């Protein structure tokens, strides 16, 4: 994976004209290679759709997974960093002045209908700056924005989000766990946090709304999605993220992703 520095990331923003407004919007295909963009923000709202591959985005409130057949919303001026792995998808950018005012103000993943998916890819006909004087483009982006807001509002919970804490001790424990989810444990988390188990559990739940056990279980499944998207075998992935039982892994993964590990992996290579 290519890790871009802050300066290199900024250069990409300038190259793709993401450092300024783009009325009413524009789009481009995402790079298919594995790239890790450093922290950045841009003045346009962003919606990225994944036709194949898996992307993880870290924002102010935590880590967000973008699996196949879903889109992710990143509001304008929201600092984030992005890890892309073999993504076949499109990123669409909306000028905030031309977007519905009731759009979400936080990063979120949401499912999209077949019609919205096709509309997202249709925006590729407009490069940055090319749609400003085109009435049909203005109408198209406005309609697409309304439909995306409708899709975001239709879901009943925040999907594929791993909350992040603000307490420095909890952040140390989380970062250590995310570096190696399969080997993470409560004992190691307490060591990195420098806290008693009682204090750790209390502060962790207060800041994330989740127990440590539920949080690390979801972190492992996020990591599993990335490994499966790379084509790794289900049995190897289950063992690597700490599951002794293949059936337990398959059940947990299916509950989170809405499809079995095998089907998820196949979706990455058969699209």
What the chain holds in terms of domains, given with CATH numbers, is 2-154 (2.60.120.280), 165-269 (1.10.10.60)
- The model's pLDDT over 54-78, given as tens digits with 9 standing for 90+, comes to 789 999 999 999 988 889 999 999 9
Q: Which of 84, 21, 30 has the alpha carbon at shortest distance from 56? A: 84
Question: How many Å apart are CA 91 and CA 73, to the nearest integer?
Answer: 10
* Average pLDDT, integer, range 125-130: 81
Confidence band, pLDDT 50/70/90 cuts, at residue 32: low
157 or 12: which leads in pLDDT: 12
DSSP assignment letter at 159: B
Looking at residue 270, its pLDDT comes to 60
User: For residue 268, is pLDDT > 80?
Assistant: no
141 or 271: which leads in pLDDT: 141
Q: In terms of C-beta density within 10 A (0-12 exposed, 13-18 middle, 19 or more buried), how is residue 175 classed?
A: exposed
Question: How many Å apart are CA 112 and CA 167, to the nearest integer?
Answer: 35
Count other Cβ atoms within 10 Å, centred on residue 211. 12
Element (H, E) at 68: none
Question: How many Å apart are CA 267 and CA 62, to the nearest integer?
Answer: 26
Residues with Cβ within 8 Å of 124's Cβ and at least 6 positions away in sequence, in order, are 27, 28, 29, 90
Confidence band, pLDDT 50/70/90 cuts, at residue 134: confident
Angle CA(177)–CA(48)–CA(233) in degrees, nearest 5?
50
Is-contact 180 190, C-beta < 8 A? no
User: For residue 187, is pLDDT > 90?
Assistant: yes
User: For residue 271, is pLDDT > 60?
Assistant: no
Residues forming beta bridges with residue 50, ordered by sequence position:
70, 89
Confidence band, pLDDT 50/70/90 cuts, at residue 195: very high
Q: Which of 85, 82, 77 has the alpha carbon at shortest distance from 39? A: 82
Looking at residue 94, its pLDDT comes to 94
106 or 129: which leads in pLDDT: 106
């Amino acid at each position: 994976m290519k890790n871009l520095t802050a300066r290199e990331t900024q250069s990409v923003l300038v190259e793709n004209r993401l450092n300024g407004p783009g009325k009413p919007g524009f789009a481009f295909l995402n790079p298919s290679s594995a790239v890790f963009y450093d922290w950045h923000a841009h003045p346009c709202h962003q919606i990225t759709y994944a036709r194949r591959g898996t992307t993880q985005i870290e924002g102010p409130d935590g880590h967000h997974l973008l699996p196949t057949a879903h889109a992710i919303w990143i509001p304008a001026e929201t600092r984030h960093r992005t890890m892309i792995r073999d993504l076949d998808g499109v990123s669409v950018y909306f000028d905030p002045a031309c977007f519905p005012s009731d759009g979400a103000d936080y990063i979120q993943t949401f499912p999209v209908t077949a019609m919205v998916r096709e509309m997202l890819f249709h925006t590729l006909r407009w490069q940055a700056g090319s749609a400003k004087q085109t009435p049909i483009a203005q109408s198209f982006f406005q309609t697409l924005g309304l439909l995306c807001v409708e899709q975001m509002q239709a879901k009943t919970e925040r999907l594929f989000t791993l909350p992040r804490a603000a307490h420095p001790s909890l952040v140390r424990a989380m970062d250590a766990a995310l570096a190696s989810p399969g080997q993470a444990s409560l004992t190691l988390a307490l060591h990195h946090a420098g806290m008693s188990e009682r204090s750790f559990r209390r502060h962790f739940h207060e800041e994330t709304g989740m127990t440590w056990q539920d949080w690390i279980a979801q972190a492992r499944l996020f990591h599993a999605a990335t490994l499966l998207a790379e084509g790794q075998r289900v049995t190897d992935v289950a063992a690597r993220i700490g599951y002794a039982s293949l059936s337990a892994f398959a059940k947990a993964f299916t509950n989170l992703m809405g499809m079995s590990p095998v089907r998820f992996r196949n979706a990455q290579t058969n699209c």
